[in-house]
A and B are shown apart, each in its own frame.
Chain A
Amino acid sequence: GAVVSQHPSRVICKSGTSVKIECRSLDFQATTMFWYRQFPKQSLMLMATSNEGSKATYEQGVEKDKFLINHASLTLSTLTVTSAHPEDSSFYICSASGGEAIQETQYFGPGTRLLVL
């Protein structure tokens, strides 16, 4: 149980285009989903937290107009990188939590590798 999927696993796009990444909780309802960014050989940095049906809460320094997050249902959240540039190339990871307590264990997706040319 507690499986989280991400799609696509890998995407290459041209500079200036937008890319959408999907995160799905397959066997549980995710009241909260988190989006992380991981640079090579570095830790995961939280970008934003989203609760179903409400606006995402972005971490300091993350451009909300560039990284659009939608959490329209209890099993799906999407991250759209708008007008992507080479510096947006990274590994994006989502996680989902279904517990009532916010510190409940997060279950992580396999990640999406984005390369912007």
Chain B
Amino acid sequence: AQSVTQPDIHITVSEGASLELRCNYSYGATPYLFWYVQSPGQGLQLLLKYFSGDTLVQGIKGFEAEFKRSQSSFNLRKPSVHWSDAAEYFCAVWGDDKIIFGKGTRLHILP
């Protein structure tokens, strides 16, 4: 069965530092992969998605993610985080006619 693993429950980085959030998936075929962000009081917002093509995907708010089939990974990166990036981040994979979400990574930003 399809699954998504986000190994880090919490990540703390200083404002201005680089960020990488890890995501590993399990899926038999070519996966459709997503990263969503959830801020308090707001709905999930799509940051980026990978369906096919270039394995380095650019998203909104300066985020990017790289699909690595050999590692079954789709890690999210940002070169310099802002205090407003503090939120919950969910990696997801499409499978069995539904989106399967990871458990999320809470990002904390130090001033």
Q: List 18 A-B contacts (CB under 8 A).
A: A4-B43, A6-B43, A41-B104, A42-B103, A42-B104, A43-B103, A44-B44, A49-B97, A93-B43, A93-B44, A95-B44, A103-B32, A103-B51, A105-B34, A105-B49, A106-B99, A108-B45, A109-B43
B residues adjacent to A (C-beta < 8 A) = 32, 34, 36, 41-46, 49, 51, 90, 94, 97-99, 101-104
Confirm or deny: A46 has a beta carbon within 8 angstroms of a beta carbon on chain B.
yes
Query: Is B41 in contact with A105, judged by CB distance below 8 angstroms?
Result: no
Query: Is A43 in contact with B101, judged by CB distance below 8 angstroms?
Result: yes
Smallest distance from the beta carbon of A106 to chain B beta carbons, Å? 6
Query: Is B98 in contact with A34, judged by CB distance below 8 angstroms?
Result: yes
Smallest distance from the beta carbon of A92 to chain B beta carbons, Å? 12
Q: Which residue of chain B is the closest to A44 with respect to CB atoms?
A: B101
Query: Is A44 in contact with B98, judged by CB distance below 8 angstroms?
Result: no
Query: Is A110 in contact with B41, judged by CB distance below 8 angstroms?
Result: yes
A residues adjacent to B (C-beta < 8 A) = 4, 6, 34, 41-44, 46, 49, 59, 93, 95, 102-103, 105-111
Q: Which residue of chain B is the closest to A97 with respect to CB atoms?
A: B99
10 nearest A-B residue pairs (beta carbon): A108-B44, A108-B43, A110-B43, A43-B101, A103-B94, A43-B103, A44-B101, A103-B32, A46-B98, A109-B43
Partner of A102, one of B42, B97, B102: B97
